[in-house]
Amino acid sequence: MIGLKFDVKLFSLPNEGKSYYDTENTNIEEITLKGSQAYMWQTDDVIYLIWYQDGVECHIVGNLSRDEILKIAENISK
């Protein structure tokens, strides 16, 4: 059994910098998360979720389920 792993990163980016991921051949889902536009996609067994909240770029990446990733995101606060 493979262990569950995830990573949460928060970036305060000057001048609205942008992060880049290789999303070739993936289906990117646009969702609303905490009133902001968010992007979620999956490659192999890893799910990616990125959104902006209070001027901070938030990333959650892991091999958890989609619902678990969203629960974590909903509980991130300033």
Residue 19 contacts residue 10 (beta carbons within 8 Å): no
3-class secondary structure, 30: strand
Task: Give the pLDDT of residue 60.
Answer: 96
Sequence spans of domains, the chain: 1-15+27-63
Q: Is 8 exposed, middle or buried (0-12, 13-18, 19+ CB in 10 A)?
A: middle
Task: Give the pLDDT of residue 46.
Answer: 94
Mean pLDDT (the chain) is 87
pLDDT single digits (tens) 38-78: 999 999 889 999 998 888 889 999 999 999 999 999 998 86
Residue 51 contacts residue 33 (beta carbons within 8 Å): yes
pLDDT single digits (tens) 63-72: 999 999 999 9
How many Cβ atoms sit within 10 Å of the Cβ of residue 29?
12
Model confidence pTM above 0.75: yes
Q: Is 57 exposed, middle or buried (0-12, 13-18, 19+ CB in 10 A)?
A: middle
Task: Give the pLDDT of residue 17.
Answer: 61
